[in-house]
Amino acid sequence: MPVLEGAKSTLEARFKASLGAFTLDVDLSLPAKGVTALFGHSGSGKTTLLRCIAGLHKAQGELNVSGEYWQHAEYFLPVHQRPLAYVFQEASLFPHLTVKRNLEYGFKRILPQVRQISFDQAVQWLGLEAMLDRMPDKLSGGERQRVAIARALLTSPRVLLMDEPLAALDHRSKQEILPYLERLHEMLSIPILYVTHSPDEVARLADHLVLLDRGKVIASGSLSETLSRIDLPVLVGEDAGVVIQARVAELDARWHLCRAEFDGGSLWLPGDGLKVNDKIRLRVLARDVSLALDKHEDQSMLNLIPASVVELADNARPGVVLVKLKAQSTHFLSRLTARSVDKLHLIPGKKVWLQVKSVAVLE
Amino acid sequence: MPVLEGAKSTLEARFKASLGAFTLDVDLSLPAKGVTALFGHSGSGKTTLLRCIAGLHKAQGELNVSGEYWQHAEYFLPVHQRPLAYVFQEASLFPHLTVKRNLEYGFKRILPQVRQISFDQAVQWLGLEAMLDRMPDKLSGGERQRVAIARALLTSPRVLLMDEPLAALDHRSKQEILPYLERLHEMLSIPILYVTHSPDEVARLADHLVLLDRGKVIASGSLSETLSRIDLPVLVGEDAGVVIQARVAELDARWHLCRAEFDGGSLWLPGDGLKVNDKIRLRVLARDVSLALDKHEDQSMLNLIPASVVELADNARPGVVLVKLKAQSTHFLSRLTARSVDKLHLIPGKKVWLQVKSVAVLE
Amino acid sequence: MEFDWTPVWLTLKLAGITTFTLMFVGTPIAWWLARTTHWLKQPVAAVVALPLVLPPTVLGFYLLLLLGPQGMVGEITQALGLGTLPFTFAGLVVASVFYSLPFVVQPLQNAFEAQGVRMLEVAATLRASPLDRFLTVAVPLARPGFMTAAVLAFAHTVGEFGVVLMIGGNIPGETKVLSVAIYDHVETLEYEQAHLLAGGMLVFSFTVLLVLYMVNGRLHRSGR
Amino acid sequence: MEFDWTPVWLTLKLAGITTFTLMFVGTPIAWWLARTTHWLKQPVAAVVALPLVLPPTVLGFYLLLLLGPQGMVGEITQALGLGTLPFTFAGLVVASVFYSLPFVVQPLQNAFEAQGVRMLEVAATLRASPLDRFLTVAVPLARPGFMTAAVLAFAHTVGEFGVVLMIGGNIPGETKVLSVAIYDHVETLEYEQAHLLAGGMLVFSFTVLLVLYMVNGRLHRSGR
Amino acid sequence: GKVTVAVAANFTGVARQLVSLFEQETGHRVKLSYGSTGKLYAQIQHGAPYEVFLSADVARPQRAIKEGLAVHGSNFTYAKGKLVLWSADPALFDQQTGPAFLATESFARLAIANPKTAPYGQAAFQYLRAQGLWQSIKAKVVRGDSIAQTFQFVASGNAPLGFVALSQIKSWQGSAGSLWLPSEQQIAPIEQQAVLLMRGEKNPAARAFLSFLRSDQARAVIQNAGYGVVAGIAKE
Ligand SMILES: Nc1ncnc2c1ncn2[C@@H]1O[C@H](COP(=O)(O)OP(=O)(O)OP(=O)(O)O)[C@@H](O)[C@H]1O
Ligand SMILES: Nc1ncnc2c1ncn2[C@@H]1O[C@H](COP(=O)(O)OP(=O)(O)OP(=O)(O)O)[C@@H](O)[C@H]1O
Ligand SMILES: [Mg+2]
Ligand SMILES: [Mg+2]
């Protein structure tokens, strides 16, 4: 049983389910807190797994949440008795109830003493004040999804399942909702299972990553570890990269920049809204990292970091090589052409300068 | 009336439509051939515009397609008499018909002499051979969408309307379908109106771009021109960039690279599957272009191009500057921090070296 | 001649109580039929539709045998100290419920089948028990089906006749409903009175239906 | 005693033809009701439901007046050289169609309303004319509604009685259908024969309904 | 030839026997239509293809003549229905104790045919009123739509006793029960008249059927079925 490191395992799921020609066969342990991203191609069984955990699909197997069995050989806790919340992929608001009554639906059905979040709090967090009396069909897609999230939270769940909550939305609507999800993640000390096709959401929200392929778990581990594995095309093509934990060390008010320190160096990046000592997450894509043998200062790239080559892997495409590098304990990926690798004589152990063109702050 | 340059205008639409509190008010001329991307936030009226053109929504206004009126003051050609095809945003296959009969539905309803594409051809193009006898509910999302596209093509339309045909799909399914759409674009000499939220699809498919905002057209022009405008946050943030027409000048079999020539220089890029003299489209993102005052060869970036600064614009985010550059007649964008701009003393007219980290071949 | 309102009230009372009862009897059956995959599903569906096939008078005849003192049901009701049902208002209700059952079950079953399971799953994850989600989700979503069911049941009970005549015994003030009154007039060639009653009944029913449809249409538009 | 099959065949013929006719009459009405926003919508819906409200015998009586030699419709049919409809098989069909119309219109209207407009729009962009898309899209998608409508109409016509007796006149081989035959037996205290016919009818109807439901269930599962 | 005959429902059984005799004897073919007298009359008024009408009363044949629907002077009484008080329970009363039992009112319900629509009901109603029982017994009375339905009420035990037709008792195969057959003085028999309708005026088979109805052979069958007949009718 693969146990995710760095967190006491609290959700243990072992399922075997058949749906027509498809078979789900998983054995998972998830940590007590934080977001676990479920990633995998269309049809790999992500939705099926969430449905098994929720009890919406009766699979064979076992499910144990913080020491309590919700399902084992002879026992099956009915869906409505499981203290979980489920945000469905498609619109799932009750069309016959106003937003307010949609929100109250689950809220009214739990005991007042187990409520961890007040009605007004949820409304405020997700910015729903203005729409409480409207019917769901008068809402935009983004608003509908926010209501669904608030409704789920109001049941004070001990496990939160979210199935592509943002898939149907455009870029701007996503940007509206993501901060709420990040806040969620910080405030609730419960496991969140988050299905998404978007590498961006994975990088931004996830602490752990589970990779599904044709009904089987092919990888499971902490985000930084899983992402820097170059054997696994986790986030393929344009999206390969690493996520780094860092701390704001210095602000440059004039240029609206900040310097983020991590073990192995520091990076300058757009620093609006950050304060010194903020803990932040940085995403550095392999395509944004080029390598140089010397330190060149007369160019626009601000971030030059000494590092050494760890490993090289031919990427899926011919002529392209993925290079794993290390600056102290921090790993980076860099995607280069094979010719550049040859020109610079890159081999494991070689000292180089990382030229980082672009860094994204995730939270 | 803004006329798109470089193509005889063939579709002229002038509509005023009200839907509740929303008003669409457009006056558009689209070229005779090629893909026009309709871009705009959720709720900006993209779907409404397509519905007006199709005749599914009766708006006030005029519609003229290659000199024929489909709608004017007193005249309204019914939907089924308009030689157009519409690929809807959501699944729209007839659930009671097999794939084969879905495909035949429109095909049987046009005169044999106006058919420009044979049944077998469409099936082959979109790779549907294996699924002709299946019902739509036994198909994956990507397969369903391919059937919908084939069905639309089989009516040999004189205008093709596509409303986010790929929005509901994951990365891999998108990659499966995009080549078909590109092929379409080359083979059919008809206007295609393509709604999308994805900058990637815009860059890859579109020749022209129409920007809608709150029911109004705020920009309309050729892709390269519209994309290199730094006043317009067309493809915002991570996705700002330019598209360049180029020609394959040289192949490097050993490194799987090719050199693409354009007016102003050449770029090395992964060259698999390309032949000398192929015309290709390159997408260069602003974030992938850094600037240097000198030419540094001891680094992994292969592409160094001399250019001069044209214009600088503060981007939406403080501390970040978008720089427009020119190498002969070709424009580039580069996104830099304000500090780098200052450090390198960038002003209009200044000579610099473009360091291009990454280039995408679009077709 | 003074107009006798008794049959009118009796008819409305019968139709009202029958429709009301039918909603309670028909809804669980329709729900079960819409959701089950049990092999008994199709046989039960067929049995529910059967009362339609027998002519009302004949159905009434068999009900008379069944509910009468020697009938199976009659023996039970007598043992319970309830007496026998024929010739009582309660008997009429029982017979009407039985007779109009298919008109309630079929539209409700269609409505339940059309609504799918998604909303029920959502309700389950929001801690609603099976009964709870049935009442708060399935039933409100099936409103057009309930509307059709109620209209068919009410109208059919108003117009019902053979069964009523047989089970009711045409007792003025107890089981002599409007349809029987009109029938009596036709039989005795009192066409004037028959026209009057029938015309009034039509106008009244038309008004009720119209109001019902309009209110429903309004709710429908604003509610969804 | 030799069993007289004539009423059985006559009944099946009447129910078959009536159901068939009703599909053609009821479908356009249901379609119009489902799609229109005309102010006449609710009044027409109410009128369609009205035949339910009148007792069958009374309805039969009025149809007799209307279709008879002095009736409005009767005068037209006579002027056309068709004679009058009452006491003919054709007359029975007309009366049954009228009587069972609400059972066909209501489920079809619900089915059409539930299917929305998207698929029709798709068909329009694929060059299907309004009639074409109605036939090739709306009708196939409303299959469960057609199923319910056909079952209700068929069963109701088989069990119909008051109207048939009034308009048909109980003429052997022409208008004496099964329900009337059973009624005759009950009236003349020939309970044995009545039980036999009623039992046979129930078994037969049950079988037909069961087969229908099962075939439909199968198609439903594989077809969608 | 062929003839279509409309027959009051209560006479159906006898009519069938008569028709088979008639068909054997004359070679004519008869189509019988049954229904309540009121319904048949409404149909005749509106163009029903009946040629002969065997009514369950006297009023409607006469009215048919008056309205020009039937041949003047063709009406005659073909049978006299006898009303009896009957119960499926043999222990209640007998030919002697019938009226007394009725007067005790020690029963839950009494079934009669609807006095408004059925002559048998009218007769029962008049008897009860004449005896001064009507007011007190009214609440216990259940009305059958026809005399046949009235009989079903009693035979099924739903009504402990009721006024039914003697002809029904004759053809009833079940228990004999308690029976009181009133004399013609106590309750006058119900005359049932036949009439030749205008449609049958030119049809020899229709006239033949009416004559047959008056023959001794037919009268024997009618009498045997529990009806009275008018003496000497055959000589008319
Ligand atoms: N009811 C069903 N009957 C048969 N096969 C099914 C059924 N539901 C799902 N499947 C199959 O099971 C597999 C897994 O489905 P699932 O919905 O879990 O995929 P997913 O990973 O959520 O995909 P997506 O990203 O498209 O939502 C798919 O191949 C699908 O075709
Ligand atoms: N039937 C309607 N009644 C009232 N308002 C409507 C209706 N349909 C659409 N609208 C409104 O019209 C506006 C434009 O809608 P439209 O569907 O054209 O947007 P869109 O650009 O296609 O958005 P998306 O990217 O979300 O598909 C929206 O604000 C929407 O709320
Ligand atoms: Mg899924
Ligand atoms: Mg849209």
Residue position matching structure tokens 């189509």: E31
pLDDT (0 to 100) of residue C1: 47
Higher pLDDT, C15 or A301: C15
Look over chain C and give the mean of its residue pLDDT values, rounded to a whole number: 81
pLDDT (0 to 100) of residue C176: 66
Q: Is the pLDDT of residue C29 over 60?
A: yes
Per-residue CA distances from A27 to A23, A32, A232 (Å):
13, 16, 20
Q: Determine contact: E146 vs chain D, CB below 8 A.
A: yes
Q: Which residues of E touch C67 (CB under 8 A)?
A: 158
Q: Mean pLDDT, consecutive 10-residue segments, chain E of 236 residues?
A: 88 89 92 82 83 91 92 91 89 86 86 85 90 86 83 84 89 84 87 92 92 91 88 50
* Residue of minimum CA distance from atom 26 in ligand 1: A42
pLDDT (0 to 100) of residue E212: 93
Q: Edge-to-edge strands of the sheet including E29-35? A: E29-35, E2-8, E52-54, E190-196, E76-81
Chain D: partners with 3+ C-beta pairs within 8 Å:
B, C, E
pLDDT (0 to 100) of residue C199: 82
Find residues 58-87 of chain B whose CB sits inside 8 Å of chain D. 78-81, 84-86
Is C187 in contact with E38 (Cβ distance < 8 A)?
yes
* Residue of minimum CA distance from atom 8 in ligand 1: A19
Q: Find all residues with CB under 8 Å of C3, minimum gap 6, and list them.
A: none
Candidates B28, B33, B37, B39; CA nearest to B64 is B28
Confidence of residue C224 (pLDDT cuts 50, 70, 90): very low
CA–CA distance, B278 with B246 (Å, rounded to integer): 8
Is A41 in contact with B170 (Cβ distance < 8 A)?
yes
Is C217 in contact with D43 (Cβ distance < 8 A)?
no
The answer to whether C56 and C95 are in contact (CB under 8 A) is: no
pLDDT (0 to 100) of residue A26: 92
A191 lines ligand 1 (CB under 6 A): no
Please state the rounded mean pLDDT for residues B34-58. 86
Domain B241-361 class, CATH top level: mainly beta
Candidates B348, A189, D110, A225; CA nearest to C107 is D110
CA–CA distance, E157 with C66 (Å, rounded to integer): 11
Most confident of B268-272, C63-67, C135-139: C135-139
Higher pLDDT, C17 or A344: C17
Q: Is the pLDDT of residue B8 over 60?
A: no
User: What's the gap in Å between the CA of E175 and the closest CA on chain D?
Assistant: 14
* Residue of minimum CA distance from atom 1 in ligand 2: B19
Q: What is the pLDDT of residues B225-255, one digit of tens each?
A: 777 665 565 555 556 778 788 888 888 877 7
Q: How many CB atoms lie within 10 A of CB C40?
A: 11
Mutate-to-test residue for ligand 2 from B16, B46, B53, B58, highest number of ligand atoms within 8 A of CB = B46
Domain limits, chain A: 10-227, 241-361
Q: What is the pLDDT of residues C147-186, one digit of tens each?
A: 888 888 888 887 776 677 677 766 666 666 677 777 777 7
pLDDT (0 to 100) of residue E195: 93
Ligand nearest to the CA of A141: 2
DSSP string, D6-18: HHHHHHHHHHHHH
Q: Which residues of A touch B298 (CB under 8 A)?
A: 292-294, 344
Candidates D179, D169, D182, D155; CA nearest to D16 is D155
Q: Is the pLDDT of residue B191 over 80?
A: yes
The percent of residues above 70 in pLDDT, for chain D, comes to 90
Q: What is the pLDDT of residues A195-239, one digit of tens each?
A: 887 777 777 778 888 888 888 888 888 777 777 665 565 555 556
Is D187 in contact with E48 (Cβ distance < 8 A)?
no
Q: Find all residues with CB under 8 Å of D29, minimum gap 6, and list them.
A: D44, D48, D101, D105
Checking phi first, is residue A6 left (phi over 0); if not, alpha (psi -120 to 50) or beta?
left
Q: Determine contact: B207 vs chain A, CB below 8 A.
A: no
pLDDT (0 to 100) of residue B170: 65
Q: Determine contact: C145 vs chain D, CB below 8 A.
A: yes
Q: Find all residues with CB under 8 Å of B20, minimum gap 6, and list them.
A: none
pTM: 0.77
Token pair for D107: 């489920």
Neighbours of ion ligand 4 (CB under 5 A): B 47
CA–CA distance, B195 with A87 (Å, rounded to integer): 28
Mutation target vs D (from E10, E33, E51, E86; most D CBs, 10 A cutoff):
E33
CA–CA distance, E191 with E77 (Å, rounded to integer): 6
Please state the rounded mean pLDDT for residues A110-134. 85
pLDDT (0 to 100) of residue C111: 86
Token pair for C155: 């109208």
Q: Which residues of C touch E42 (CB under 8 A)?
A: 186, 189
Mutation target vs D (from E44, E46, E145; most D CBs, 10 A cutoff):
E46
Confidence of residue B7 (pLDDT cuts 50, 70, 90): very low
Find residues 125-144 of chain E whose CB sits inside 8 Å of chain C. 141-144
Domains and CATH numbers, chain D: 6-222 (1.10.3720.10)
Mutate-to-test residue for ligand 2 from A135, A137, A138, A140, highest number of ligand atoms within 8 A of CB = A140
Q: What is the pLDDT of residues C60-110, one digit of tens each?
A: 778 888 888 888 888 888 888 877 887 788 888 888 898 889 889 988 988
E near D: at least 3 beta-carbon pairs less than 8 Å apart: yes
In this complex, the residue of D52, D159, D213 whose CB is nearest that of residue C159 is: D52
Q: Which residues of A touch B334 (CB under 8 A)?
A: 300
Most confident of A290-304, A345-359, B58-72, D37-51: B58-72
Q: Which residues of D touch B137 (CB under 8 A)?
A: 224
Q: C-alpha B236: how far from its chain's center?
A: 15
E near A: at least 3 beta-carbon pairs less than 8 Å apart: no
- E232 Cα to the center of ligand 1, angstroms: 93
pLDDT (0 to 100) of residue B237: 57
Same fold, A10-227 and A241-361: no
- B161 Cα to the center of ligand 3, angstroms: 28
Question: What is the 3-state composition of chain E as percent helix, strand, coil, each rounded to the nearest 5?
Answer: 45, 25, 35
Mutation target vs E (from C92, C170, C195; most E CBs, 10 A cutoff):
C170
Is B256 in contact with A342 (Cβ distance < 8 A)?
no
In this complex, the residue of D118, D124, D140 whose CB is nearest that of residue B80 is: D124
User: What's the gap in Å between the CA of C142 and the closest CA on chain D?
Assistant: 11
A55 lines ligand 1 (CB under 6 A): no
Confidence of residue A6 (pLDDT cuts 50, 70, 90): very low
Higher pLDDT, D176 or B163: B163
User: What's the gap in Å between the CA of C130 and the closest CA on chain A?
Assistant: 8
pLDDT (0 to 100) of residue C129: 92
User: What's the gap in Å between the CA of B75 and the closest CA on chain D?
Assistant: 18
In this complex, the residue of D86, D184, D188 whose CB is nearest that of residue E47 is: D86
pLDDT (0 to 100) of residue C17: 92
List the beta bridge partners of residue A243.
A283
Q: What is the pLDDT of residues D138-158, one digit of tens each?
A: 999 888 888 888 888 888 888
Q: Is the pLDDT of residue C18 over 80?
A: yes
Q: Is the pLDDT of residue D99 over 70?
A: yes
Mutate-to-test residue for ligand 1 from A22, A24, A88, A162, highest number of ligand atoms within 8 A of CB = A22
Chain C: partners with 3+ C-beta pairs within 8 Å:
A, D, E
pLDDT (0 to 100) of residue B1: 36
pLDDT (0 to 100) of residue B280: 82
Amino acid in the structure at residue A359:
V
Domain B10-227 has CATH 3.40.50.300: yes
DSSP letter assigned to residue A9: E
Mutate-to-test residue for ligand 2 from B15, B22, B23, highest number of ligand atoms within 8 A of CB = B22
Look over chain D and give the mean of its residue pLDDT values, rounded to a whole number: 81
- B44 Cα to the center of ligand 2, angstroms: 7
Please state the rounded mean pLDDT for residues D79-85. 80
Confidence of residue C52 (pLDDT cuts 50, 70, 90): confident
pLDDT (0 to 100) of residue A140: 67
